[in-house]
């Protein structure tokens, strides 16, 4: 299908833009995703520590969106820092990298983005393209924007590749929010094929589990798809098995926070459950992520699964739903082994098993 990218971009025009860089005063503006869907409010950030706090508090969340936000957090270290020499600037950036990397442990995009920004600064200083702190700021801004633009382009490409897995009339089960709110660009990863299909007039609908405890499905996926006129049905997490058993799901499409070389997929808690049920029922299970989400060095035992505040489980929006002193285990991601993954959809193509051979090949890395 010869798809005109520019025409497609004009048709996919998401209303919600969760990350805005205001160049006039070097300010990072974030849509506060904790308040959705009932309030659309924004926070303004001018330093890396408050940016790290915004990631930790999930004002912004979603692996690619975290990466873009961290990239601009590194820009803020120069834009509003105290460095008067390039050496001081590099030290500020190293401190900013450490503060941002400490915000959340699982999403690979965070570490990929801060390392890319730091190496860009170091290279610019050493190759002479940044001879002053002011020139370095220009380099950093351009690199952060490049990361944003590359993410946007990657999502369009993943949407086009993913079209191969979407038939007219399909219903697609998602998990959490891997939409435009999770990537910062407004398109999404898991929702990219959905948005592209919808833009091309292919009838597709979504079943979105609420995704306890943070309710990204109920509060974010539902909100952003309805805002763009894409049919979506909300279900309780406990209904996932039944809707698949009832034959209501043609495929499962999820995002990812980290994907290993051998195809282990780290994603929102509850993803593994969907993958096992899909495998059992013969329903295709696709993880959709840009190459910036892949971690080709770590093994399963190296990856930290984030555990968050127990009150996220004991309460819903501050209202207790359990005894206040009940012990809680609150892992917010799980890991799906490659045997349950039908294919990985990336901006460089669709990757099929054996992943340990095909991931490096398709991502054209050693
Ligand atoms: C394309 S976003 C990837 C991923 O991030 C979400 O987690 P969180 O909301 O805790 O940042 C979820 O796992 C999405 O699938």
The ipTM (two decimal places) reads 0.98
DSSP string, 115-141: HHHHHHHHHHHHTTS--SHHHHHHHHH
Looking from the CA of residue 189, the nearest atom of ligand 1 is 1
Q: Which CATH architecture has domain 5-156?
A: Up-down Bundle (1.20)
What tokens does 47 get? 């330093």
What does each of the 366 residues of the chain score in pLDDT, given as a tens digit? 577 777 888 888 778 889 999 999 999 999 999 999 999 999 999 999 999 999 999 999 999 999 999 999 999 999 999 999 999 999 999 999 999 999 999 999 999 999 999 999 999 999 999 999 999 999 999 999 999 999 999 999 999 999 999 999 999 999 999 999 999 988 999 999 999 999 999 999 999 999 999 999 999 999 999 999 999 999 999 999 999 999 999 999 999 999 999 999 999 999 999 999 999 999 999 999 999 999 999 999 999 999 999 999 999 989 999 999 999 999 999 999 999 999 999 999 999 999 999 999 999 865
**Domain 5-156 and domain 165-363 have a common topology:** no
State in Å: Cα 258 to ligand 1 middle: 10
Q: Is 169 annotated as a binding residue?
A: no
What global pTM score does this model have? Answer: 0.97
Residue 301 burial (CB count, 10 A): 5
Q: Could you report the per-residue pLDDT of 208-256, keeping only the tens digit for each? A: 999 999 999 999 999 999 999 999 999 999 999 999 999 999 999 999 9
Q: Could you report the per-residue pLDDT of 280-317, keeping only the tens digit for each? A: 999 999 999 999 999 999 999 999 999 999 999 999 98
Which of 57, 159, 178, 215 has the most ligand 1 atoms within 8 A of CB, as the residue to mutate? Answer: 178
State in Å: Cα 178 to ligand 1 middle: 6
What tokens does 119 get? 């190496």
For residues 213 and 319, the answer to whether their CB atoms sit within 8 Å is no
Strands 265-268 and 258-260: antiparallel
Whether 176 is in the pocket of ligand 1, judged by its Cβ within 6 Å, is yes
Active-site amino acid positions: 257
DSSP strand E in the chain: where? 19-22, 27-31, 42-45, 170-173, 179, 186-188, 204-209, 232-235, 251-254, 258-260, 265-268, 285-288, 294-295, 315-316, 319-320, 333-336, 343-346, 349-351
- CATH of the structural domain 165-363, one choice from 3.40.140.10, 3.40.50.2000, 3.40.50.10470, 3.40.50.10800: 3.40.50.10470
In the chain, what are the domain boundaries?
5-156, 165-363
């Amino acid at each position: 299908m010869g798809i005109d990218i520019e025409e497609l971009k004009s048709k996919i025009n998401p209303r919600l833009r969760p990350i805005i860089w205001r160049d006039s005063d070097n300010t990072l503006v974030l849509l506060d995703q904790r308040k959705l869907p009932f309030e659309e409010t924004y926070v303004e950030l001018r330093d890396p520590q408050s940016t790290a706090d915004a990631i930790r508090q999930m004002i912004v969340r979603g692996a690619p969106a975290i990466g873009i936000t961290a990239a601009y957090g590194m820009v803020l270290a120069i834009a509003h820092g105290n460095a008067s020499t390039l050496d001081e600037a590099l030290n500020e950036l190293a401190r900013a990298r450490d503060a941002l990397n400490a915000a959340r442990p699982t999403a690979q995009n965070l570490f990929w983005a801060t390392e890319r920004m730091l190496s860009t600064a170091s290279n610019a200083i050493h190759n002479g393209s940044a001879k002053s702190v002011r020139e370095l700021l220009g380099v950093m801004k351009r690199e952060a924007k490049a990361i944003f633009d590359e993410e946007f382009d990657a999502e369009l490409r993943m949407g086009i590749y993913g079209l191969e897995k979407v038939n007219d009339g399909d219903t697609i089960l998602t998990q959490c929010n891997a939409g435009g709110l999770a990537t910062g660009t407004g398109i999404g990863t898991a929702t990219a094929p959905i948005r592209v299909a919808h833009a091309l007039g292919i009838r597709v609908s979504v079943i979105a589990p609420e995704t306890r405890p943070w309710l990204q499905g109920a509060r974010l996926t539902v909100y952003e798809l309805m805002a763009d006129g894409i049919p979506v049905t909300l279900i309780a997490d406990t209904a996932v098995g039944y809707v698949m058993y009832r034959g209501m799901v043609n495929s499962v499409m999820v995002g990812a926070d980290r994907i290993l070389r051998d195809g282990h997929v780290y994603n929102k808690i509850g993803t593994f459950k969907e993958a096992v049920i899909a495998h059992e029922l013969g329903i295709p299970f696709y993880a959709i992520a840009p190459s910036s989400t892949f971690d080709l060095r770590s093994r399963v035992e190296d990856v930290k699964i984030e555990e968050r505040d127990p009150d996220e489980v004991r309460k819903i929006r501050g209202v207790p739903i359990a005894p206040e002193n009940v012990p809680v285990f609150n892992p917010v991601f799980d890991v799906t082994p490659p045997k349950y993954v039908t294919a990985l959809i990336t901006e460089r193509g669709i990757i099929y098993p054996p992943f340990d051979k095909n991931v490096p090949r398709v991502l054209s890395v050693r």
